[in-house]
Amino acid sequence: MPATDAAPSFAEERDLLIGAAVEAGHAVMPLWRDCSLKVWSKEDDSPVSEADMRADQVLREAIISEGRGDYGWLSEESWDGGAHRPGRRTFIVDPIDGTRAFLKGEDSFTICLAVEQEGEIVASVIYAPAREEVFAAALGEGATLNGQPIEVSSCQGLEGCRMLGTKRMFGHPDWPERWPEMSIGYKNSTSYRLACIAAGRYDGTVALTPKPDWDAAPGALIAAEAGAQVSDHLGRPFRFDRRPPEQPGLVCAAPGLYPEIIERLSHLPEDLRSLSV
């Protein structure tokens, strides 16, 4: 889908997101490992902190200052209510993905942004400020880590693969067939999991819970541009103009691994909320 003559190119959108994410990262780093940080719970009992709100404000101001005030705005911490209007691009934002990791003093939290157009992500950035890692992509331009091209692994099967997820999920007794022996890791940030797949550090990841667009959108493009296959748990492609703004589930994996994962998930219902895994 080409950008219109009046609209910035996808590469220009990516570069804007990089600058905004880095600015927000610098703004919240003084609050990382700060014992006096203010924290409270949202309606779903997930934590939010003054660092999340500071990042959200910095991101919005940085983006609007570049003449994108007419774009939609869909953020985990703020939403203008008018996102996904036909013909208008929308920013999809997670000011801090992995707030729990941030609050524990872990370094895998990320600042995540994407630009959506007609249900498709056309530019995205995942910034891990504590690690100084900037993952970025523009549609059709490939994916990079700190400016260098990245690509997914050449993994060809589940046996011995490097998988991101919870051991409890893969070891649940209700699976029709036991999962083979895998090296299982975990990252609190969904976006960082997808970035790790894109960079070839891990081979695949599975999430059997609905994922809000701000969790799925930034990493979906970066992983796809690095050569991964990304979809919901039944193999259906993502659309980022749904209401509510979420994906039913998430699978991201190297092409040689993806079909085997999807086959193992094929018996699952479309709505995963009733599952106990």
Annotated binding site for Mg(2+): 76, 94, 96-97, 215
Name residue 217's amino acid: A
Tell me the per-residue pLDDT of 51-60, one tens digit each, with 9 for 90 and over: 999 999 999 9
pTM for this prediction:
0.94
In a domain, residue 253? The reply is yes
Confidence of residue 66 (pLDDT cuts 50, 70, 90): confident
Please check whether residues 111 and 28 belong to one and the same domain. Answer: yes
* Residue 8 pLDDT exceeds 60: yes
**Of the residues 124, 149, 174, which one is the last residue of a structural domain?**
149
pLDDT of residue 81: 59
Please check whether residues 37 and 145 belong to one and the same domain. Answer: yes
In a domain, residue 154? The reply is no
**Of the residues 126, 149, 172, which one is the last residue of a structural domain?**
149
CATH code for the domain of 58: 3.30.540.10
Please check whether residues 18 and 120 belong to one and the same domain. Answer: yes
40 forms beta bridges with 48
Annotated binding site: 76, 94, 96-97, 215
CA distance 161 to 174: 22
φ and ψ of 85, to 5 deg = -75, 135
In a domain, residue 1? The reply is no
Please check whether residues 167 and 132 belong to one and the same domain. Answer: no
Tell me the per-residue pLDDT of 194-204, one tens digit each, with 9 for 90 and over: 999 999 999 99
Please name the residue ranges forming H helices in 29-164: 50-64, 99-104
CATH code for the domain of 257: 3.40.190.80
Confidence of residue 6 (pLDDT cuts 50, 70, 90): confident
Please check whether residues 211 and 174 belong to one and the same domain. Answer: yes
**Of the residues 119, 149, 179, which one is the last residue of a structural domain?**
149
Number of folded domains that form the chain: 2
Boundaries of domain holding 90:
10-149
| Residue 240 contacts residue 226 (beta carbons within 8 Å) | no
Please check whether residues 238 and 186 belong to one and the same domain. Answer: yes
